[in-house]
Amino acid sequence: MIGKKIYLRILEKSDIINTQKWINNPEISSIMGYLPNKPLIQQEHWYDSIINDPSRDIFAICKIDNDEHIGNVALGNIDFISRNAALSIFIIERINRGKGYGTEALILLLDYAFNRLNLHKVYLRTSPNFIEAISVYRKLGFIEEGRLREHYFCNGIYQDKILFGLLREEFQANCK
């Protein structure tokens, strides 16, 4: 899936060298809820389990100009009866954030979710502190659906999570 500045490709087994380093990055592990210090062998088992799992699609976000793999974007819990899925995204280095890559990656992923998988809804949970992420979700038309109180334990405290959802027709109205 190709955009203007980035493209999405299926995460390859060779990418887990990168993703293992990323999971052990303290910022990303706390944002994404990963427990750090995962050995590479565990990442290999994780990759083997997800690659044949029809309820998950994980893509590498790569820059068009130099093919650099800058982050991942994924659909999980894909439910082909209720036709919905949970979205997640991260761009690892701050230098690559705020340049429009995340917005473009999400538009490509949502187009895949709604127009290839024929999903009806994509949803996610995020922290109220993730201002940049929330601003991107709202820009793409996601609607706040509720708040899970003290739902997420990290760095010694319980934090709220906000639920956002986007219906297919909302995406089509916002991203024409």
Catalytic residues: 137
* Nearest CB to ligand COA, comparing residues 78 and 89: 89
Interface pick for ligand COA out of 49, 55, 129, 135 (rule CB under 6 A):
135
Residue (of 112, 24, 26, 25) closest to 61 by Cα position: 112
- Taking the complex as a whole, the smallest distance from the CB of residue 41 to ligand COA amounts, in Å, to 26
* Nearest CB to ligand COA, comparing residues 84 and 103: 103
CB atoms within 10 A of CB 57: 21
Interface pick for ligand COA out of 19, 20, 84, 103 (rule CB under 6 A):
103
Going through the chain in order, the beta strands assigned E by DSSP cover: 6-10, 57-63, 69-79, 84-91, 121-126, 143-154, 157-167
For the chain, first and last CA: distance in Å?
A: 17
How large is the greatest C-alpha to C-alpha distance in the chain, in angstroms?
44
| 31 forms part of the interface with ligand COA (CB under 6 A) | yes
* Nearest CB to ligand COA, comparing residues 45 and 139: 139
On whether the CB atoms of residues 58 and 74 are closer than 8 A, the answer is: yes
- Taking the complex as a whole, the smallest distance from the CB of residue 81 to ligand COA amounts, in Å, to 25
Give the single-character DSSP code of 11: P
| 139 forms part of the interface with ligand COA (CB under 6 A) | yes
| 19 forms part of the interface with ligand COA (CB under 6 A) | no
Interface pick for ligand COA out of 47, 59, 101, 171 (rule CB under 6 A):
101
How many residues form the binding site for ligand COA (CB under 6 A)? 20
